[in-house]
């Protein structure tokens, strides 16, 4: 029995050291050396103070800000500890009611855009409930409201949208998107207002 136990314990201790200590430390050191911003949470800061992550959305509801996708997390929106969708299908009455309410809220907030199709990412939550980005169509839909609320010419707001747009990788993979928090922080820098 001891003849079988000794190699098993040796392998257990060896694998524990290699996979439980050496490998995590090596990966952490490599990530810190090669991708330090991403490895530390992609944190956006203003005047040295962290205000959020480029990877997790935030709730904006004031007219002077671009709004992100609705979040299905609870008890608060964009709660990283409760990441997940509502699991309601597209024909579920509760989901249809939520989408209709979101469409009405957007039409009320953006009356100039009321006759145009509402971008789907402004009225439906994602699978994670944490999306930090919106489509360019969703940003364009909100442009007039944000420009008016801030007293800025629409061209100035459009330039910021263009500057903060993420284009598809190699022009093929993904859709053009805009990080809502980065765009709103840029707007605050152009026309300072208190953060929500």
Residues 65-113 pLDDT 10s? 999 998 877 777 887 777 776 777 778 888 888 888 888 888 888 887 7
pTM of the model: 0.77
* Among the listed residues 75, 37, 80, the one whose alpha carbon sits nearest the alpha carbon of residue 58: 80
Model confidence over 29-79: pLDDT tens digits?
999 999 988 888 888 878 778 888 888 888 898 999 999 998 877 777 887
Tell me the average pLDDT of the chain: 85
Output the pLDDT for position 153.
93
Query: What are the sequence ranges of the domains in the chain?
Result: 1-40, 41-190
Rounded Cα distance, 154 and 16, in Å: 59
Mean pLDDT score, 7-19:
93
């Amino acid at each position: 029995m001891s003849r079988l136990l000794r190699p098993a314990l040796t392998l257990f201790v060896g694998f524990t050291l290699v996979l439980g200590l050496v490998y995590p430390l090596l990966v952490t050191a490599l990530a810190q050396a090669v991708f330090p911003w991403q490895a530390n949470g992609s944190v956006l800061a203003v005047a040295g103070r962290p205000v959020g992550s480029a990877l997790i959305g935030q709730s904006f509801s004031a007219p002077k800000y671009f709004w992100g996708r609705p979040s299905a997390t609870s008890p608060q929106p964009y709660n990283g500890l409760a990441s997940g969708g509502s699991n309601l299908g597209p024909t579920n009455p509760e989901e249809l009611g939520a989408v209709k309410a979101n469409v009405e809220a957007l039409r009320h907030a953006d009356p100039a855009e009321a006759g145009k199709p509402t971008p789907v990412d402004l009225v439906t939550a994602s699978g994670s409930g944490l999306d930090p980005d919106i489509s360019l169509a969703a940003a364009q839909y909100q442009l007039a409201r944000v420009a008016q609320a801030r007293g800025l010419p629409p061209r100035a707001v459009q330039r910021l949208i263009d500057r903060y747009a993420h284009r598809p990788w190699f022009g093929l993979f993904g859709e053009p998107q805009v990080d809502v928090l980065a765009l709103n922080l840029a707007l605050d820098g152009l026309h300072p207002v208190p953060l929500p």
